[in-house]
Structures are given as structure tokens and as C-alpha cells.
Structure 1
Amino acid sequence: MPATPATPPAPPPAQGPYAVPDARGGRLRAPVGLATALTVLFALVIASDACTLYADWNLHSLMERMLADSAAVSDAELDRGTRLTGLAGTVHGNAVIVTGIVFIIWFHRVRTNAEAFAPGADKLKTGWAIGAWFIPFANLWLPYRIAVTTWGSSTPSAADGGYRRFPLTLVNLWWGLFVLSKLLGWYGGRAYSSAESAEAVRDAALTMLAGDAFDLVAAVLAVLFVRRLTAMQHARAAQGPAAAAVQGGL
């Protein structure tokens, strides 16, 4: 009696929407957990921004009073104002460093996923999603360029299989305010360090105040950017491997 051919094993079940193979035979990696962590971390950045705003305003107010009447501000008040500015800056700086590390990890992951959705859409290798942040001057543009191409490559198809447009307004606002806040913060910090008069300190505090205000708004927009792009990739991955071929030329 001839042997019955063995039944081929059933393919393993898909492990959620991120089981879509990428161009190298690997798997997409869900950025959802990182996005959740970033939501919490950016909330800390926003809170620290609020503290630096108060410290900047307090320092500016002290200098205004000194300029109006040099005896109106005691040495103790001046010392407290200076220490508050330094402490707020340190806390904010530490929050930004931790958040920045997690953000770059998330940024690299969504860029890698985008390469699976639309291979070759971005001529820069996926490693640039990390390296671009550390190149002087180029880091004012390259991360934005990568964000734009990743955004376009991650756009899910419409219900009828056609192209669905997600405007870049959010990306543009976030990046513009982010760069502006960093430039103002850098300039204000240098001016404060070299200030030798109450008027110079007042002007530096005002510049830092503006930079921190823009930084707070940029942090809010960063949360929206992270959550929107993560949701776009989740929806795109849920459409399966065929969706990656629909917009492969983006």
C-alpha cells in the first residue's frame, strides 16, 4: 500500500499586524511601546519647561526691579533667583536627554518600518535616523527630511485601496518650533553666561523665556507627531504585505 503523502505543516499564524515581512525577510517592529513611553517622557519635559519658564520670568522680573531701583532687590532674592534658574535648567536638561534617547530609538524604529513599507523611498540608509541628530548644522535639516519621507512611506491606503493623504502640517510645525526653540535657548544661554550687567541678564532671561515657551509648544507637538506616525504605521501594517506594494514608489 503506497504511503500517504505527508500533509505540509500549516504556516505559523501572524503575530499581529507587525508580522509583515520587510524587504530583507525580517519583521516589522511595533513602535507602540516606545510611543507610550515617549508620551510620559514628553509630559515630564513639558512640566520642566513650565518650571524653566517661571525661573526665566522670575529672573527677568528681578532684573527689571534692579534697573528701576538697585536697592529694591536684596542679595538673598538675587541668589534665590540665580539658583532657581540653574536648578530649573538642570532638571530640564536631564529630562530632555532621557527623552531624546528614547525618541531617537523610536525614530530609528519607525524609519526601519518605513523601509519595509516603501523600500528605497528614502535614499539615506536607516542608520541615518540615528546619526543625523549628531552632525552639527546638518542636524537642523536631516532629521526633518527623514521624518517627512518616513511619514509619506507610512501612510496607510484608503478603504478603496487608493492613496490616502496625511498633510505634513504637524511635522512642519513641530520641527520649525523645535529648531527655533533650540536656537533661542542656545543664544539666550550664551548671553546669560557672559552677562555682566543687570540689563544684559534681563535681556538674556527674556530670550531664554521665549526659547522655553517655544520648546514647551514643540514638546506638545512632538507627542502628537509620535502618536500620529505610530498610529499610521499600525494601520499600514494591519493592511498586510500587499499594502507595501501599493505605495512603494513614495
Structure 2
Amino acid sequence: MSAVPVGPPTPSPYAAPDVQGVRLRPPVGLAIALTVLFALVIGFDVFAGYADWNTRALMERLLADSAAVSDAELDHGYHLAGRAGMFQGQIAIVTGIVFVIWFHRVRTNAEVLAPGADKLPRGWAIGAWFIPFANLVLPYRIAVTTWTSSTPFGADEQRRWLRLTLVNLWWGTFVLARVLGWYGGRSYSSAETIEATRSAATTMLAGDVLDIVAAVLAVLFVRRLTAMQHARAAQGPVVAAV
């Protein structure tokens, strides 16, 4: 039985030469991990939303009739809200760490795919998240330049222009959800009246709903940018002096 000739193995799109000392690294594994983590974020957000709705309903009943809610119901409501906040905080830390690692990797890859496109050093893909007020703008700026730099070339070998709608929706929803969550949490902690507790629970509920939307958009953003970079990497890096 004659052996079937085997051709040379298909080279990995990430087996590329260094550009300014930077090498392409696959972000696919991190993107898969983030998809799982964001699914958990959504699940805990749903639980937190239920806890907030329960707190709000209890406050509505108390306003209608101060004897309509038992101490056991109030204790259960507070315990439920506390557990929801704890779970949200823990999954947010883990997801945030993995996201920043992925974000830094795709930003570093973009430096190979489009040298000089982003004037900020690639270390800002990590540091920008931890600078007060600047973290409302700089990560978005890096996301936009990384998205643009990762856009594959078309058949005419010209870079295609892809709309930034997904990036804009993700970032806007993410920031608004963070602001509402922060404000709602502070209001809840300092609430001294039934009306204030009800208002805080309403704000936190709105923040949880927005956080669910932001998590869905984040998954779409991560998967889309990862796929774009994979396709762009298969076309070969642009080796150019900066």
C-alpha cells in the first residue's frame, strides 16, 4: 500500500516575525474563557436583579402598611441582597483580570498588525483601567485603535472599514452600568428611610439590567475583535518602522 504524500503543514497565522520586538500571540483561548466568565456574570446579575426587585417590593409593602412585612422577610431580603453583591463582586474581579489580559494581548497584536497606529505604549492597555476619570476614556480609545488596526484587508488588499457601533454600544453601556451600580450601592449603604432604600434598590436594579446588556455586548465585542485579529493575522503582519 503506497503512502499518501503529505504536504507541508499549514503555518500558524501567529508564527510571524517580530515587529519592534513584539510577536503575535493568539487571543482565542482568552476569548473563550471570557465568554464563559461573562455568562457567569449574567447569571449573577440576574440573581442580583431579583434581590433588588425583592428589596424594592418589601419597601413598597412597608410604605403601604408598616405591619405588612415581618422581621423574617426583612432579614431574608437583606441577606439576599448581601449575597448577591458578594457574588457579583467576586465574579467581577475574576472577569476583570482575564479581560485586561485579553485586552493587553489584542492591543499588543495590533502593534504588529499596524505598527504605529496607537501612539500610547501598549502598557496603557493595562494601566488605563486603574486611573480615575481617565479610565472612562482611555480604554475606549485603545479599543477603537485596536479594532481599526485589526480589520482584515479586502480582496483589493486595502483595509476594510468596519463600523464602530459595537464598540460604542459596549463601552457606553458598560460605563453607565458601572455608574448606576456605584451610585445605587452607595445610596443603599447610606439609606436611613424606607423611601431611600426603595430608591436605592430601584437604581441598583436598573444597574443590574444594564450590566446584563453590557456583558452580552462585551461577549460580542471580544469574539468579534478576536475573529478579526485571527483573520488579519492570517494575512501576515505589516512590518514597518515606526
Length-normalised TM-score, structure 1: 0.90
- Aligned pairs (5 A) from 1:87-98: 87-98=83-94
In the TM superposition, residue 163 of structure 1 has moved relative to its aligned partner by 2.4
Q: Are residues 1:154 and 2:170 paired? A: no
Q: Are residues 1:209 and 2:205 paired? A: yes
**Is the Cα contact below 8 Å between 1:41 and 1:95 reproduced in 2?**
yes
- Aligned pairs (5 A) from 1:121-160: 121-160=117-156
- Aligned pairs (5 A) from 1:1-250: 15-241=11-237, 244=238
What amino acid does structure 2 have at the position aligned with 1:78?
A: L
In the TM superposition, residue 159 of structure 1 has moved relative to its aligned partner by 1.9
The alpha-carbon distance between structure 1 residues 24 and 13, as it changes in their structure 2 partners (threshold 3 A), is farther
Gaps of 5+ in 2: 1-7
Q: Which 10-residue stretch deviates more, 53-62 or 15-24?
A: 15-24
**Is the Cα contact below 8 Å between 1:30 and 1:234 reproduced in 2?**
yes
| Distance (Å, rounded) in 1 between the aligned partners of 2:22 and 2:168 | 32
- Aligned length in residues: 235
| Distance (Å, rounded) in 2 between the aligned partners of 1:217 and 1:95 | 16
**Is the Cα contact below 8 Å between 2:22 and 2:108 reproduced in 1?**
no
| Distance (Å, rounded) in 2 between the aligned partners of 1:93 and 1:15 | 42
Question: Residue deviations 1:166-189, cap 9 Å, x none?
Answer: 110000000000000000011111
What amino acid does structure 1 have at the position aligned with 2:191?
A: A
| Distance (Å, rounded) in 1 between the aligned partners of 2:85 and 2:11 | 44
Identical positions, percent: 73
In the TM superposition, residue 160 of structure 1 has moved relative to its aligned partner by 2.3
What amino acid does structure 2 have at the position aligned with 1:186?
A: W
What amino acid does structure 1 have at the position aligned with 2:116?
A: G
TM superposition outliers: structure 1 runs of 4+ over 4 Å: 12-15
- What SS does the aligned partner of 1:30 have? coil
| Distance (Å, rounded) in 2 between the aligned partners of 1:168 and 1:22 | 29
| Distance (Å, rounded) in 2 between the aligned partners of 1:104 and 1:26 | 18
| Distance (Å, rounded) in 1 between the aligned partners of 2:11 and 2:31 | 20
Larger Rg: 1
What amino acid does structure 2 have at the position aligned with 1:70?
A: S
- What SS does the aligned partner of 2:139 have? helix
What amino acid does structure 2 have at the position aligned with 1:42?
A: F
**Is the Cα contact below 8 Å between 1:21 and 1:116 reproduced in 2?**
no
What amino acid does structure 1 have at the position aligned with 2:136?
A: L
Question: Residue deviations 1:56-89, cap 9 Å, x none?
Answer: 0000000000000010100000000000001011
CA-atom RMSD in angstroms: 1.7
